[in-house]
Amino acid sequence: MLTWVVAFVWLVIDQLSKHILPLFLAWYRSVEVIPGLLRITLVKNQGAAFGLMAGRSLLFIIVALAFVVFLVIKREALKQNWLMSWGGPIAAAGALGNAIDRLLFGYVIDFIDVPFFSIFNIADIGIVVGIALLSLGIYLTERKQKDGVNNTQS
Residue 147: per-residue pLDDT: 78
pLDDT single digits (tens) 87-140? 999 999 999 999 999 999 999 999 999 998 999 999 999 999 999 999 999 999
Q: What predicted TM-score, i.e. pTM, was given to this entire model?
A: 0.85
Give the number of other Cβ atoms within 10 Å of residue 35's Cβ. 8
Catalytic residues: 110, 124
d(CA 51, CA 36): 22
pLDDT single digits (tens) 1-58? 899 899 999 999 999 999 999 999 999 999 999 999 999 999 998 766 655 555 666 7
Instruction: Kindly list the domain boundaries of the chain, sorted by start residue.
Output: 2-149
76 confidence band (pLDDT: 50, 70, 90): confident
Residue 34: per-residue pLDDT: 96
d(CA 89, CA 75): 9
Please determine, for residue 70, whether its predicted confidence score (pLDDT) is greater than 60.
Answer: yes
